[in-house]
Every structure is written in structure tokens, then in C-alpha cells.
Amino acid sequence: MSPRWPRRCIAGFGTLRHLAPALHDRFDAGTASLADLDAVMDDYITAVEAESAAAAGWPDWINVPSKVGQVAAMKVFARAREPYAELVQHRRVLAWQ
């Protein structure tokens, strides 16, 4: 097994390409706050419970929105931390989008 396997597996599901384009703006780490991302994930849970997630464009597998949310949250967190904020702003931090 490749030593890079876990990174590829985890990071791959955290990319926006696995979500419907209509959902991409909801995970905009450049403008969102952690509270905004929390609200997005709450909306997802509500949609799943109401059985309307598929109609809203959410994927069938929970791992995708979970990982996309985790990646976005770390980007938001890094944006607020110096000296990482400048790196994130200039996309020098790994941008899994």
C-alpha cells in the first residue's frame, strides 16, 4: 500500500467536484465563517431527515459533504490565523477544490 494512500482517499472526498455545482458557493472558505459552515451542515442534516437531500443536489453518500465541510472549515480556520492567512489568500495552502 502506498504511504500516500490515506491522504489521497481522505482529501479526494473533500473536493468540491464531488458536489453539485449549485452547492459549491455554500462552502466558500474565502468568505464563510465557521458558523456559516455549521449552518450549511445543519441544512444538509435537515434535508436528509426530510428526504429532500437528493432534490437539493446533495450526494447520496454522507462522506462527501462531511469531508468537504471539514476541508472548508480548516481553510476558514487557517484564514484567521497568522501567518497562514496570507498563504490561504494566495492559494499556497493545499486547495482541494
Longest Cα–Cα distance in the chain: 43
On whether the CB atoms of residues 20 and 57 are closer than 8 A, the answer is yes
Give how many domains the chain has, as a whole number: 1
- Comparing 3 with 25, the larger pLDDT belongs to 25
Q: What pLDDT is stored for residue 27 in this prediction?
A: 93
75 lies in a domain? yes
List the single range of 14-18, 19-23, 52-56, 71-75 with lowest mean pLDDT: 14-18
Structural domain that includes position 69: 5-89
94 lies in a domain? no
94 vs 52: CA distance, rounded Å: 33
Q: What rounded mean pLDDT belongs to the chain?
A: 79
At 27-74, the pLDDT tens digits run 998 889 999 999 999 999 999 999 999 999 999 888 899 999 998 998
95 lies in a domain? no
Q: Which stretches within 1-97 are classed as H helix?
A: 5-13, 21-24, 34-49, 63-80, 84-89
81 lies in a domain? yes
13 vs 10: CA distance, rounded Å: 6
48 lies in a domain? yes
63 lies in a domain? yes
